[in-house]
Structure 1
Amino acid sequence: MHKASWGMLFAACLVFATGAFGQQGEARILAAREAIRTGDRNTLERLAQQPDTHLLDPYVRYWLLLNKLARPDAPPATELADFLMQEAGSVLAERLRADWLRRLAKDSDWAGFLRLYPDLQSPDREMRCHHWTARLMNGDRGVLADVAAQWHDLTDAHSACDTVLRAAISSGDVSADDAWWRFRRQVENRNTGNARSTLAWLDDGDSGALEQAMKSPAQYLDRLPGNFATNRASRELALAALVRLVREDMPAAHVRLIRLQDRLGADDRAYVYSALALRASWAQDRMARDWFGAAGDIPMTAEQRAWRVRSALRDNDWKAVLGAIERLNADEQQESEWIYWRARSLAGLNRRAEAEALYARLAGEPHFYGMLAGDELGRPFVVSPHATALSAEQLRLAEDDPGLRRAIALFQLDMRTEAVREWNWSLRGQDEVFRLAASRLALKYDIFDRAINTAELANPKGAFDLRFLTPYRDLIEPQVRSQGLDMNWVYGLMRQESRFVVPARSSSGAQGLMQVMPATGKWVAGKIGMSGYHQGLLSEPNTNVQLGTSYMRLILEDLDNHPVLASAGYNAGPGRAKRWRDARPLEGAIYVETIPFDETRDYVKKVMANTVIYAAMLDGQPQSLKARLGTIAPRPDAQ
């Protein structure tokens, strides 16, 4: 049985063993965790009263205080303050302070909130919203100017911000135009709940009409009265219906825009065209270019600006690519992807010297665009063969760190969520050497994801021996050979999927080292004739790797034996990977850049860059990413 399974069985047994008997050590920690999970107040009280010197003893006390905060009684201020003082600087002190602040906000004790808040070291979105509310409720009207200054970053703010957002509109600190801007963005993002809230804060908003526009946009538009555009709210709801219809039926939305365009202003028409252009770009429809042109200079989202570049890129129109990049904002133009594609567009326009200067800014960087830039300069990617050197004293500092020690103890009890919090908290403010030593410590205990992530935090341009690990090789290599796959690609994909965490499970249900979905596992098992397959086998490393590598082979064979297509297919499904091809041969890098799904586009870039790095390490030879990306053949229906 896997060690994680033993840990869960042990924890389950402890629930029955609590009774009237005292518990110590790990047994006490696991019993307390089960008690907080089930809301067992009496067991928590009893376990907290048992003195123990266990490294994780503060967790028992924290869970008891968390339970007390959830009770209807007044918060035990003295006990809470004592814990914060005793555990000062720890992740548990930070968490308890945030828990206490939430309770104060729930109780509308805004004065108490303001007294406690300054010591919170890493406030999240919810806490920042509560802080704004506390300031407003204590008479600080200046907070409304602060909200107005950040308005365009608050489109999807936490609901705790609702009070100050509404007040900023009512006070006039946020204009009606900006309020309607927020409404539009929420409609575009299909965040109907937030759009409904914003509409309610506007005096002439009609939430009933919004529901109709979102539920049946075509019918809503077809029933509009002739004078709908004379009222701002009615006009905005018509635009909302058009944008909603763009997602459901792009041609139908365009037809209705043409029908209504004489009653809409130029900016309103341009706004809808920007929505049509984005949707057409995702669908890789040639109309995207025309519709971006029709949108003109209307303010666009970052996503729309990026896809204006990608739609030109898909057409190999280097002049249009350069023009679209120059219409990005200043910060966006400095992102590595747009530096690279700006260089490519300059090269395509025979401005080679300018292009090479930009390539040189990226070349050698161990990421997708740095590798491509190096290829353009004739500098294939190489990795130093030397291991990261650390002294015994440097390693000892990490081993003796209280937070890292607690994290390892939590990992050993299969308490991953708590362990990762402890680990990450302990790395805050630490220098590169300490983080590299922490990475070595994680590797010592086979905590591969922390080893990789910590080394990346320490040195994102080096430490390849820690960032690109090759664990489980004894079970991976035979499967790779039997499937006829590239070991570098398999490791590159597995690293991206799970960071080599055996019990990894995604929100969608994918499991194990290769994050195999249950339905996929069943299908592959049938294809390869695996007898006795059941879903529980996905958590077993050997079976998971066998199914994952078999699936890689099956989709590779179905997708022109092209690793770019197969990587996209592994993440988003082979059918989508096929549909994303063009009617003509397409450069591999352009195919990747124009994948419509953000997650899949980022995934393929990372898998292919990982593959190059693993190849440089395992083969010991310079590697070309551009050669691996190659050319994507046209769709069969276009040939």
Structure 2
Amino acid sequence: MEWRIRLALRQQQWHQAGQWISLLPESHRAKPRWRYWQARTWSLQSIKPEKTLQMLQQLASERHYYGFLAADIVQQDYDFNHSALISGQSGSDVSLSPEITRARQFYQMGYFVPARREWAAATRSFDQSQLIDATHLAHQWGWHQQAIHTTIKADSWNDLSIRFPLAYQADMIVSAESATINPEWLYAITRQESAFAKDAYSPAGATGLMQLLPGTAKQVAERMGVSYTNRDLFSADKNIALGSNYLKQLLDDFSGNRILATAAYNAGPHRVKSWLNRQAAALPHDIWIETLPFYETRNYVQNVLAFSVIYGHRLGIDSPLINTEESSIGQP
């Protein structure tokens, strides 16, 4: 059913798209994605104005991609819904757990795999309050990946300082300035790629904080005129420097459009160019993103755009979800 909706959106058949949405199971229609598109199709048909406004205003009070899209439409400030986690409510000191102790020792020695194994063993039986205490521990150690994952396991989503940490801040700011890209975008890409795990390694060989492929990193290093070995990708400062310069390269390749550059970072620039070449006409940004052929890239772009807004907030930067020049994508 969802592919039918996306096809109708792509063809800008608003009535048809709205009909397909109405046939979704109620649990699906309640999701932010389809609430947004239900309101959007009503708006584009100039029908149900009161329901449309009500639905968009409700979405605009939520912190996610569709909430930020809705906030832009109704000209409402973004709502970040930050709420700090309160530790010390579990009645026990989770730091005394033998597994937590071993996890900390392994982590501090740089043995991340056994550290994660011990952490998983410890938190498997924790209740929510213990998970929150453990989240604070990982955050204090600078082990951001585990702090992020553990707060999700605790079903606690609103402490932005933990879920969106300003990790490696000096390197991130310097590299963003050097590459002349927005630091909030650099943070958003890194958060999406690895959750700040500098030892991250994918089956495809993508490595480090920004999940760079060695071949890509080598090409970027050559353009930068710096020395390079594959081991450099496990070094936070070098990975960030290479990744930020690659983002700048993609941004230039796509005429400063972060949406296209973000999609290219995930799916590859040649694939994004092929999608654009198959377009008969320009599309609104939200439709172009919603109808991307790869599920992974669609969610990736949506997450990065939303994370950019949140990191702008964390850095004290007014960062819109979509820039004016990004509002239409494809051939004019």
Quote the offset at 1:395 in angstroms. 9.3
| One-letter code aligned to 1:527 | R
Is the alpha carbon distance of 1:420 and 1:486 closer, same or farther for their aligned partners in structure 2, counting shifts above 3 Å? same
Q: Which residue of structure 2 aligns with residue 407 of structure 1?
A: 103
The separation in 1 between residues aligned to 2:288 and 2:109, in whole angstroms, is: 44
The separation in 2 between residues aligned to 1:536 and 1:415, in whole angstroms, is: 16
Cα RMSD (Å) of the superposition? 2.6
CA displacement, residues 29-85 of structure 1 (integer Å, 9 cap, x when unaligned) = xxxxxxxxxxxxxxxxxxxxxxxxxxxxxxxxxxxxxxxxxxxxxxxxxxxxxxxxx
The separation in 1 between residues aligned to 2:117 and 2:67, in whole angstroms, is: 32
Q: Which residue of structure 1 aligns with residue 232 of structure 2?
A: 537
- Could you tell me whether the CA contact under 8 Å between 2:42 and 2:49 is conserved in 1? yes
- Could you tell me whether the CA contact under 8 Å between 1:343 and 1:355 is conserved in 2? yes
1:314 corresponds to 2:10: yes
Quote the offset at 1:628 in angstroms. 7.1
Q: Which residue of structure 1 aligns with residue 275 of structure 2?
A: 580
Is the alpha carbon distance of 1:359 and 1:460 closer, same or farther for their aligned partners in structure 2, counting shifts above 3 Å? farther
The separation in 2 between residues aligned to 1:432 and 1:620, in whole angstroms, is: 33
- Could you tell me whether the CA contact under 8 Å between 2:264 and 2:272 is conserved in 1? yes
CA displacement, residues 264-298 of structure 1 (integer Å, 9 cap, x when unaligned) = xxxxxxxxxxxxxxxxxxxxxxxxxxxxxxxxxxx
1:561 corresponds to 2:256: yes
Is the alpha carbon distance of 1:406 and 1:365 closer, same or farther for their aligned partners in structure 2, counting shifts above 3 Å? farther
The separation in 1 between residues aligned to 2:126 and 2:49, in whole angstroms, is: 42
Q: For 2:77, what is the secondary structure of its paired residue?
A: coil
Q: Which residue of structure 1 aligns with residue 303 of structure 2?
A: 606
Quote the offset at 1:613 in angstroms. 0.4
Quote the offset at 1:409 in angstroms. 3.8
Is the alpha carbon distance of 1:465 and 1:459 closer, same or farther for their aligned partners in structure 2, counting shifts above 3 Å? farther
Q: Which residue of structure 2 aligns with residue 352 of structure 1?
A: 49
Q: Which residue of structure 2 aligns with residue 86 of structure 1?
A: none
Higher RCO (CA-CA < 8 Å; seq separation 6+): 2
Which of 364, 378, 401 is equivalent to 2:61? 364
Which of 476, 490, 511 is equivalent to 2:172? 476
Greater shift, 606-615 or 457-466, is seen at 457-466
- Could you tell me whether the CA contact under 8 Å between 1:580 and 1:591 is conserved in 2? no
Aligned pairs for 1:170-189 (under 5 A) are: none
The separation in 1 between residues aligned to 2:63 and 2:156, in whole angstroms, is: 8
1:514 corresponds to 2:210: yes
Quote the offset at 1:444 in angstroms. 2.0
Is the alpha carbon distance of 1:395 and 1:474 closer, same or farther for their aligned partners in structure 2, counting shifts above 3 Å? farther
The separation in 1 between residues aligned to 2:142 and 2:62, in whole angstroms, is: 28
- Could you tell me whether the CA contact under 8 Å between 1:312 and 1:318 is conserved in 2? yes
Is the alpha carbon distance of 1:365 and 1:395 closer, same or farther for their aligned partners in structure 2, counting shifts above 3 Å? farther
Is the alpha carbon distance of 1:421 and 1:342 closer, same or farther for their aligned partners in structure 2, counting shifts above 3 Å? farther
In terms of fraction of residues, the more helix-rich structure is: 1
Quote the offset at 1:394 in angstroms. 5.6
Number of residue-to-residue matches in the alignment: 329
Is the alpha carbon distance of 1:602 and 1:384 closer, same or farther for their aligned partners in structure 2, counting shifts above 3 Å? closer
TM score, norm. by length of structure 1: 0.48
Gaps spanning 5+ residues in structure 1: where? 1-304
Quote the offset at 1:619 in angstroms. 1.5
Aligned pairs for 1:57-96 (under 5 A) are: none
Quote the offset at 1:406 in angstroms. 3.9
Aligned pairs for 1:57-456 (under 5 A) are: 305-350=1-46, 351-383=48-80, 387-391=84-88, 397-412=93-108, 414-428=110-124, 430=126, 432-456=128-152
| One-letter code aligned to 2:135 | S
Is the alpha carbon distance of 1:397 and 1:620 closer, same or farther for their aligned partners in structure 2, counting shifts above 3 Å? farther
| One-letter code aligned to 1:337 | R
Is the alpha carbon distance of 1:312 and 1:384 closer, same or farther for their aligned partners in structure 2, counting shifts above 3 Å? closer
Quote the offset at 1:594 in angstroms. 1.1
Q: Percent identity?
A: 32
Q: Which residue of structure 1 aligns with residue 265 of structure 2?
A: 570
The separation in 2 between residues aligned to 1:321 and 1:476, in whole angstroms, is: 42
Q: Which residue of structure 2 aligns with residue 547 of structure 1?
A: 242
Larger Rg over CA atoms: 1
CA displacement, residues 556-615 of structure 1 (integer Å, 9 cap, x when unaligned) = 001020111110011111122223333322221211111111111111111111000011
Is the alpha carbon distance of 1:369 and 1:318 closer, same or farther for their aligned partners in structure 2, counting shifts above 3 Å? same
The separation in 2 between residues aligned to 1:557 and 1:626, in whole angstroms, is: 17
Is the alpha carbon distance of 1:326 and 1:421 closer, same or farther for their aligned partners in structure 2, counting shifts above 3 Å? farther
